[in-house]
Amino acid sequence: MNIKDLEYYQKLVATHSYTKTAEFFKLSQPSISASVKRLSKEFRTTLITQKTPRGRFSTTAAVKS
């Protein structure tokens, strides 16, 4: 597990913004998305749900899928 992925996820949850999170860490938005996908795979659960690609997202309860 990459500890940075957890840091990115924590900031993403705090800001509710991929853009702000990416800017804070001086990364691209796709890097943040990839980080969340890695965490989801590692924990075998969906961490974020998003109805539209550019829409607001919500976090999910950590339940194994």
What pLDDT is recorded for position 62?
A: 60
Q: What are phi and psi of 59, to 5 degrees?
A: -85, 160
The pLDDT tens digits of the residues spanning 4-59 come to 999 999 999 999 999 999 999 999 999 999 999 999 999 998 888 877 666 677 77
Per the structure, how many domains does the chain have?
1
**Domain residue limits at 19:** 3-59
Look at residues 11, 61, 64 and name the one whose alpha carbon lies nearest to residue 36.
11
> How many degrees, rounded to 5, is the angle at CA 40 between CA 59 and CA 55?
40
Q: Which of 62 and 11 is assigned the larger pLDDT? A: 11
CATH code of the domain containing 48: 1.10.10.10
Share of the chain residues as helix, strand and coil, in percent rounded to the nearest 5: 55, 10, 35
Residue 43 lies in a domain: yes
Q: Is the pTM of this model over 0.85?
A: no
